[in-house]
């Protein structure tokens, strides 16, 4: 019988072949303590209710984070790694494809001001969820489209919106979406220079781009 880690490696579809994942480390990477724009604390664990959170993978997390920090009702954003096996991975380790992680943005929000459906609409319309392990010129498992839901309600809404939006995409000539929808796994904050990158570097790279297919709120009802 395979050891649990090796068994998970064997079953994880988001790992490149070529050996077991990097071992990682028991302590978090050094990163920023506060949001560059709002000054609010960055943490892999979101604040208590009434705030909620979700993790979105949309390709390069630099542009994805900016989409959400601009919205009223979003309390704080951060970027990091989720959905893989290596604990506290570095950016270099994630880029090998051998950790299985996706680049994600953590969105901590007040549902009384911005609801989860509105965040899903931003998610679907601001990237191409039909490309599998890539976004445009960014290729690799870390660039996959993903929703990592914080609770059962988010899972239900995300799955329903995926079904509805996939129909719209196919009608518009796109392939069906390839988005991974799963319960929230461990979330590891990325290195400090990645946090709010496009606020610190306004002319920095952003490969984010949508399909042009709208996802009206009615799709999510």
CB 205 within 8 A of CB 64: no
Rg (CA), the chain: 17
Model pLDDT, residue 18? 63
* pTM for the structure as a whole: 0.92
Q: Does residue 215 carry a catalytic annotation?
A: no
- Over residues 83-135, the pLDDT tens digits come to 999 999 999 999 999 999 999 999 999 999 999 999 999 999 999 999 999 99
The structural architecture, per CATH, of the domain 4-220 is: 2-Layer Sandwich (3.30)
Catalytic residue among 60, 95, 206, 215: 60
Residue with the two structure tokens 């988005």: 179
- Over residues 23-44, the pLDDT tens digits come to 999 999 999 999 999 999 999 9
Q: What does the alpha-carbon distance between residue 116 and residue 210 come to, in Å, rounded to a whole number?
A: 19
Closest CA relative to residue 16, chosen from 91, 96, 102? 96
**Cα angle value 39/43/45 (rounded, 5°):** 135
Q: Extract long-range pairs of 45-52: CB within 8 Å, 24+ residues apart.
A: 46/106, 46/108, 46/150, 47/75, 47/108, 50/110, 50/111, 50/112, 51/75, 51/108, 51/109, 51/110, 52/108, 52/109, 52/110, 52/111, 52/116, 52/150
- Over residues 161-206, the pLDDT tens digits come to 999 999 999 999 999 999 999 999 999 999 999 999 999 999 888 8
Closest CA relative to residue 186, chosen from 39, 17, 24? 24
pLDDT at 17 over 80: no
In this prediction, residue 6 has a pLDDT band, given cuts at 50, 70 and 90, of: very low
């Amino acid at each position: 019988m395979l050891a649990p880690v090796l068994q998970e490696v064997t079953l994880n579809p988001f790992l490149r072949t070529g050996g077991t994942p990097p071992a990682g480390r028991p302590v978090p990477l050094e990163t920023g303590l506060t949001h560059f724009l709002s000054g609010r604390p960055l943490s892999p664990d979101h604040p208590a209710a009434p705030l909620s959170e979700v993790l979105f993978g949309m390709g390069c997390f630099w542009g994805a984070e900016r989409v959400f920090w601009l919205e009223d009702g979003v309390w704080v954003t951060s970027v990091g790694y989720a959905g893989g096996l290596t604990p506290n991975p570095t950016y270099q380790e994630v880029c090998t494809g051998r950790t299985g992680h996706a680049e994600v943005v953590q969105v901590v929000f007040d549902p009384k001001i911005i609801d989860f459906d509105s965040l899903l609409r931003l998610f679907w319309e601001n990237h191409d969820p039909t490309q599998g392990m890539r976004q445009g010129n960014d290729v690799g498992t870390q660039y996959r489209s993903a929703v990592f839901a914080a609770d059962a309600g988010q899972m239900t809404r995300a799955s329903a919106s995926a079904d509805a939006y996939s129909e719209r995409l196919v009608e518009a000539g796109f392939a069906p979406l390839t988005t991974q929808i799963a319960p929230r796994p461990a979330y590891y904050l990325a290195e400090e220079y990645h946090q709010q990158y496009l606020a610190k570097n306004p002319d920095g790279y952003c490969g984010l781009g949508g399909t042009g297919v709208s996802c009206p709120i009615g799709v999510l009802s």
